[in-house]
Amino acid sequence: MILGIETSCDETAAAVLAPSGAVLSNVVVSQDVHRLYRGVVPEIASREHVRKLAPAVKGALADAGASLDDVSAVAVTAGPGLVGSLLVGVTFAKSVALARGLPLLGVNHLEGHVLSPVLEAPDLAPPIVVLVASGGHTLLVHVRALEHLDVVGRTRDDAAGEAFDKVAVLLGLGYPGGAALERHAEGGDPRAFDLPRARLEPDALDFSFSGIKTAVRFLLERDPDAGEEPRSHDLAASFQAAMAGVLVEKTMRAAERFDVPAVALAGGVAANRSLRTALEAACAERRLRFVAPRLAYCGDNAAMIAFAGMHRLARGERSGMALDADPSLPLGSVANRAPRKRHARVSG
């Protein structure tokens, strides 16, 4: 069995996978305390991970009906993320691996997100285009092989979830407000407000969401009534439609450009039903397979980290005790290509 650990941001997570890749347990402990500050406070996040990680690991082992004796490898998120938060997970994983003489695998958090659709649908074979949309990241990845991930598009400013969260705050819906904004948009008219959909250069696969968010802010300054009932429902629906429109358009452009038969969605924003539905419809129109993992695998979780670690282990990779947290660990084909030397620092 493989033990996965994830502490890159504000979720403390541990999971146990069977050697087949089946998820035996998937524990995610959220840190609600950050709501008070309308954003993740790094220092608090690290302290919460210190308090919650050991119970999360114990819980994951208990849910799997297993003990540490059954664990044959430990996979941990080494980056990107908040350095203090990452260090808690990396140090914990190193301690378990050292004490038990187990192989240790450092995993890129984004690699976990990118592979989560394959965790859900093991028959989903590359090539695939995966859209990862979360609170911290928005990227399009061309998965040529499970160990060959090419980032072909990324946000140049806000992440998609960040834009949802900022607009939710503007509409007084709290933080993090993506899910609340979706609920608020129900019954609203998505055509009521014409928001700009920054497209950057023609053909670009990069995203830019700050324009949409700023347009909402200016609109509310000019016309504060748009932020009040009942028009705020229309504004939320229009914003959501603009976001989904841009995300679907770029994802389809990438699918066509790289001529893939399948498209997948990952990251916390994948919880958004209007995005899922729009992407599913666009895929059906083009006869592309569409996979969106269950929500437990979309948000930050350790099952996806254990899964990515399992594939690295199968390729003969080991991280060794020199594994370090790297807050800006890049995801890229070069970094993913070769098996790592023992004691090499994980860099991608």
Determine, following the binding rule CB under 5 A, whether residue 165 of this chain makes contact with Zn ion: no
Interaction between residue 112 and ligand KG4 (CB under 6 A)? no
Q: Considering the rule CB under 5 A, would residue 134 count as an interface residue with Zn ion? A: yes
Is residue 299 within the footprint of ligand KG4 (CB under 6 A)? yes
Q: Which of 128, 271, 283, 305 touches ligand KG4 (CB under 6 A)? A: 271
Q: What is the 3-state secondary structure (H, E, C) of the chain?
A: CEEEEECCCCEEEEEEECCCCCEEEEEEEECHHHHHHCCCCHHHHHHHHHHHHHHHHHHHHHHCCCCHHHCCEEEEEEECCCHHHHHHHHHHHHHHHHHHCCCEEEEEHHHHHHHHHHHHCCCCCCCEEEEEECCCCEEEEEEEECCEEEEEEEECCCCHHHHHHHHHHHCCCCCCCHHHHHHHHCCCCCCCCCCCCCCCCCCCCCECCHHHHHHHHHHHHHCHHHHCCCHHHHHHHHHHHHHHHHHHHHHHHHHHHCCCCEEEEECHHHHCHHHHHHHHHHHHHCCCEEECCCHHHHCCCCHHHHHHHHHHHHCCCCCCCCCCCCCCCCCCHHHHHCCCCCCCCCCC
Listed ranges 144-152, 172-180, 227-235, 249-257: which one lies at the site for ligand KG4 (CB under 6 A): 172-180
Q: By CB under 6 A, what part of segment 1-60 binds ligand KG4?
A: 9
CB of 108 or CB of 134, closer to Zn ion: 134
Binding of residue 165 to ligand KG4 (CB under 6 A):
yes
Q: What's the min distance (Å) between Cβ of 262 and Zn ion?
A: 22
Residue 300 interacts with Zn ion (CB under 5 A)? yes
Q: Which of 48, 300, 317, 326 binds ligand KG4 (CB under 6 A)?
A: 300
Residue placing its CB nearer to ligand KG4 in the complex, 234 or 300: 300
With contacts defined by CB under 6 A, name the span among 17-25, 90-98, 171-179, 340-348 that binds ligand KG4: 171-179
179 binds ligand KG4 (CB under 6 A): yes
Identity of the residue, 166 or 318, whose beta carbon is nearer to ligand KG4 in the bound complex: 166
Interaction between residue 25 and Zn ion (CB under 5 A): no
Closest distance of CB 280 from ligand KG4, Å: 15
Which of 27, 139, 269, 306 touches ligand KG4 (CB under 6 A)? 269
Q: Which residues bind Zn ion (CB under 5 A)?
A: 134, 300
Q: Which residues bind ligand KG4 (CB under 6 A)?
A: 9, 134-136, 161, 164-165, 176-179, 182, 267-269, 271-272, 299-300
